[in-house]
Structures are given as structure tokens and as C-alpha cells.
Amino acid sequence: MALSNLSNYLDEVDNYSDYTDYTYEETSSMWADPAHDPSDMARILSVVIYSVSCVLGILGNGLVIAIITLKMKKSVNAVWFLNLAVADFLFNIFLPFNIAYTAMSYHWVFGTVMCKLNSFLLILNMYTSVLLLTTISLDRYVSVVFPVWAQNHRCPSLAYLVCLGVWIVGVVMSCPSLIFRDTAQAHSSVICFSNFSLSRNASYRALALVRHRTVNITRFLAGYVLPITVITFCYVAIAFNLRRNRLAKSKKPFKIIVTIIVTFFLCWSPYHLLNLLETEPDMIPRFVFEIFIPITTALAASNSCMNPVLYVFMGQDFKKFKVTILSRLVNALSEETGHSSIVHRSFSKMSSMTEKETTVL
């Protein structure tokens, strides 16, 4: 295909990528001063966010993986944290490809296979992380609201089976990246983009639009709306239960709950909402996507380095600041901390009530 035809094809087909590849056109010519090109500034900011997330994510999640596998006996909490850390760590390992791609003004030099694999692993991380966070929320909900059932059925083997199901669902939901991701020469660069028509023929535009909307809407519902609904419900129910039964000695658990939900919203809402708007590109000026998609994608990626902080460091009420990071991680990841102690108190309280009722009868 001639270069001009390819350029027209890229303009006509909705091929906005899962991750940033929005500058295959010479967009800097739109601005009087290239040094103040908003899209270029967004690209630089994205590189910074990606880089910080990559370093912190590899160190934080790597430390969690090492501690759980080498220093701890397996518990339900440990299984959740281990799988969450593995998903985030795998994501962070492949972040350098995105950093290089973004830093090189969206010039992909790693080939078509890596274009597919990179996107697949990034979307896999999104699904597995979100589903694992949802699973953790459900586990905490069941442990607090149904402590007797949790005491009898909650075990590491069941947790491993649930995690296996999460990974299978994540792989299946990420397969569109293996199918639709492609590379093409555009101007002086090679782009890694979503070729939803599976062709270089612009006549397939209608089919590409349907596929694009299906993928994005499915991702929005399954990867955002459903999980955030379940997560919010679980933590609101936990908060009401703890307050009603007066099991929480302080307001700290409520602050942690609010922090978890707000952080999740801040990291993922812009990404999913903008990708949903992307299914109707005629409604939004093109430069909006060129500027904000890279930033919102990088912000979503940063969630992978925040999880060790939110689910480990904040999950434990540290009384002595001088305690080492290693000790803090071991204590936070152990079964006898956080909501587990609340479950124990709840179970003990219910057992005491049962004994009193039996005595009366």
C-alpha cells in the first residue's frame, strides 16, 4: 500500500491503541511553537510517570513476592497478595517497552510479535489486577459479614483455585490484543496500533468500528464498572457492619477503605472513560485524545506500583516507626493482621452469644 493510502487508512479507521500510539501524524505542526506542543508535553509527562511506576513497581512488588515465597507460610491473604504482586510485577517488567516507545515519539522498533505480546500482557495485568482486587474485597466482605462460614471454609487451597480462575478469565479477556494489534509504517515511524479491520483496506471501516466499540465497551463494563461496583458495595457493607457491631476500635479501617476506593477511582476512571469516548471519535476533537490518552494510560499504569503501599503498608497499624520494612511487610501480609483480627473478634463475639443462648435454653 502506498504511504499516502496508508495514512488515509490510519485516519479513517478507529485504531486508537490500548496504549499510546496517537502521534503517527505530524501533530506538532498544529502548534505555532513546537516547544509548547501539548501532545509532546503529554508524551514527556507519560515517560516520567511510566519510569517512576516501573522502578517502584519492580522494587515493591518484587519485595512482596520474595517475602511471601521465602519468608512466610501460605495463608489466604498471602495467596491474594502474591497473585496481585505477580500480576503487577509482570506488568512492570514490560513497562520499559512502553517507555522506549513513548520516549522515541511512538516509534516501535520491537517487531509485530512483541507489539501483540506487549499489549496482551498490559491488558492481562489490567484484568487480573482488577479481578484480584475485587476478589480481595469479596473475601474481606465474607470474612466480616459471615465470620462463621469464613472460619469453616476459608483456606489457601480454595484461594489458589479462585486465583487460577482469575488468571484464566484475564487471559481470555486479553486475547483481542493478540488478534488486533499490528504494526505499520506511517511517515518516518513504525507504529504499534489496533488494526480492528484486520486489513489495510479502508473499506472495512464499518466492521472495524463495530469491533472497536465491542472491545472498548466490554473492557469498560468487565474491567471497570462491574469491579468498582462490587468493591464499593463490599467496603460500604464492611463499614456498616463494623460500626453496627462496634468491632472497630478506631476510625483507621474506614480511612483505609476510603483511600483504597478513591485511589482506584483516580487511577482507572480517566482511562476507562476516555477509552469509552473513543468509540465515538466524531464527538470529541482528535487533539483531546492525542493529549490525554497518554496521560490517563500512564496514570492507570501507576496503580501497579501503588498496590504494595495500599494493600500492605496501609493495611497495618504500625506502632513503632523504627520497625524495618521487611518486618512491616511480613506483619502486614500475615493472616493475623488487619481485617483478619476483626474477623477473629467477630467470630469470638458470635460464639460468646451462642454460649449464652445455650445456657438460657
Max Cα–Cα distance, the chain, nearest Å: 89
Rounded to a whole number of angstroms, the distance between the first and last alpha carbons of the chain is 87
CATH number (domain holding residue 110):
1.20.1070.10
C-alpha cell at 115: 507489539
C-alpha cell at 122: 498490559
**Contact predicate 124/170, CB 8 Å:** yes
Residue 123 lies in a domain: yes
Residue 269 lies in a domain: yes
Beta-carbon neighbour count of residue 165 at 10 Å? 12
Which residues 6+ apart lie within 8 Å of 136 measured at CB?
A: 80, 84, 311
Q: Give the chain's domain count.
A: 1
Residue 360 lies in a domain: no
Structure confidence at residue 310 (pLDDT): 66
Residue 310 lies in a domain: yes
Structure confidence at residue 116 (pLDDT): 92
C-alpha 299/C-alpha 361 separation (Å) is 60
Structure confidence at residue 127 (pLDDT): 92
Structure confidence at residue 325 (pLDDT): 57
C-alpha 313/C-alpha 315 separation (Å) is 5
Structure confidence at residue 200 (pLDDT): 62
Q: How far is CA 250 from the centre of its chain?
A: 30
Residue 146 lies in a domain: yes
Q: How far is CA 222 from the centre of its chain?
A: 12
Identify the domain containing residue 199 by its residue range.
16-24+36-352
Residue 249 lies in a domain: yes
Residue 221 lies in a domain: yes
Residue 248 lies in a domain: yes
C-alpha 151/C-alpha 23 separation (Å) is 54
Structure confidence at residue 303 (pLDDT): 84
pTM assigned to the model: 0.76
pLDDT along the chain (361 residues), means of 10: 40 40 36 61 91 92 87 83 90 90 90 90 88 89 87 90 96 93 87 82 75 90 91 86 65 60 82 84 79 88 78 48 54 52 44 33 31
